[in-house]
Chain A
Amino acid sequence: MTDVQDISSSTAAKKETMPKITFIEHDGTVHTVEAEIGSTVMETAQRNNVTSIVAECGGSCTCATCLVHVDEAWSPIVGPPSDEEEDMLDFAFEVTPTSRLSCQIKVTEALDGLIVRTPAYQGR
Chain B
Amino acid sequence: MSEAIKTDVVIIGAGPVGLFAVFELGLLDIKAHLIDILDKVGGQCAELYPEKPIYDIPGIPFITGHGLTEALMEQIKPFKPTFHLNEMVTTVEKIGEPLFRVATDRGQVFEAKVVVIGAGGGSFQPKRPPIPGIEPYENKSVHYAVRKMDTFRDKRLLIVGGGDSALDWTLNLQPIAKRLTLVHRRDEFRGAPDSVNKMRELVATGAMDLKIGQVSAVEGADGQLAAASIKGKDNAVERVECDAMLPFFGLTMKLGPVADWGLTLEDNLIPVDTAAFETSIPGLFAIGDINTYPGKLKLILSGFHEAALMAQKAYHYVYPEKRLVFQYTTSSTSLQKKLGVA
Interface residues on A, range: 20 to 34
Point out the residues of chain B lying under 8 angstroms from A73, CB to CB: none
Contact status B253-A56, CB under 8 Å? yes
Roughly how many angstroms separate A123 CA and B124 CA in the complex, as a whole number? 12
Chain B, 184-209, CB within 8 A of any chain A CB: 184-186, 188, 190
A33 and B56 CA atoms in complex are apart in Å by 30
The CA of A90 and the CA of B185, in the complex, are separated in Å by 7
Q: Is B127 an interface residue (CB 8 A)?
A: yes
Kindly state whether residue A77 has any CB partner on chain B within 8 Å. Answer: no
Query: Does B81 belong to the interface (CB within 8 Å)?
Result: no
Chain-B contact segment, one of A9-17, A36-44, A59-67: A59-67
10 A-B residue contacts at CB 8 Å? A1-B289, A2-B49, A2-B300, A5-B297, A57-B48, A86-B188, A91-B249, A121-B130, A123-B127, A123-B250
In this complex, what residue of A is CB-closest to B233?
Answer: A97
Q: A91 with B299: in contact, given A62-B52, A65-B252 (CB under 8 Å)?
A: no
Q: How far is the CB of B67 from chain A (nearest CB, A)?
A: 13
Any A CB within 8 A of the CB of B181:
no
Option from A2, A64, A65, A94 in Cβ contact (under 8 Å) with B54:
A2
Residues of chain A lying within 8 A (CB to CB) of residue B190: 87, 90
B185, A1: Cβ atoms under 8 Å?
A: no
Query: Is A74 at the interface (CB under 8 A from chain B)?
Result: no
The answer to whether A91 touches B250 (Cβ under 8 A) is yes
Question: Which residues of chain B are near A94, meaning CB under 8 Å?
Answer: 130, 214
Q: When chains A and B are docked, how far (Å) is the Cα of A95 from the Cα of B249?
A: 13
Report B-chain residues with C-beta under 8 Å of the C-beta of A57: 44, 48-49
B126: nearest residue on chain A (CB-CB)? A123
Residue of A56, A62, A90 touching B162 (CB-CB under 8 A): A90
Given A2-B300, A93-B249, A62 contacting B49 (CB threshold 8 A)? yes
Please tell me if B223 contacts chain A, counting CB pairs below 8 Å: no
Residues on B facing A (Cβ under 8 Å): 44, 48-49, 52, 54-56, 121, 127-130, 161-163, 184-186, 188, 190, 214, 249-250, 252-254, 289, 297-300
B169 to chain A, nearest CB (A): 15
**Main DSSP-derived SS at the B contact region:** loop
Q: Is the CB of A110 closer than 8 A to any CB of chain B?
A: no
Quick check: A56 and B185 within 8 Å, CB to CB? Answer: no
User: Quick one: which of A9-63 are within 8 Å of B by CB?
Assistant: 56-57, 60, 62-63
Chain A residues, CB < 8 A from B214? 93-95
Interface centre among B121, B162, B185 (most CB of A within 10 A): B185
Of the candidates A2, A63, A95, which one forms a contact with B185 in the assembled complex, judged by CB atoms under 8 Å apart?
Answer: A95
* A37 → chain B closest CB, angstroms: 22
Given the known inter-chain contacts A2-B56, A87-B190, A90-B161, please indicate yes or no for A60 contacting B49, CB distance below 8 A.
Answer: yes
- Tell me which of B48, B184, B297 contacts A62 (CB under 8 A): B48
Evaluate whether A4 and B249 lie within 8 angstroms (CB atoms) in the complex, with A63-B48, A90-B163, A123-B127 already known: no
Residue of A nearest to B252 (CB): A124
> Complex: how many Å from CA A32 to CA B250?
32
Do the beta carbons of A63 and B252 come within 8 Å of each other? yes
Most chain-B CB neighbours within 10 Å: which of A5, A89, A91, A92? A91
Question: Please, how many angstroms separate the alpha-carbon atoms of A124 and B268 in the complex?
Answer: 14
Cα of A91 to Cα of B47 in the assembled complex, Å: 14
Taking CB as reference atom, which chain B residue is nearest A2? B54
Q: Which residue of B lies closest to A1 (CB)?
A: B298
Contact between chains at B252 and A93 (CB < 8 Å): no
Q: For B127, what are the chain A residues with a Cβ–Cβ distance below 8 Å?
A: 91, 123-124
Nearest Cβ on chain A to B225's Cβ, whole angstroms: 18
Given A1-B289, A93-B129, A123-B128: 13 more A-B contacts, CB < 8 Å: A1-B299, A4-B299, A5-B297, A56-B252, A57-B49, A63-B250, A90-B190, A91-B127, A91-B249, A93-B130, A94-B130, A123-B249, A123-B252
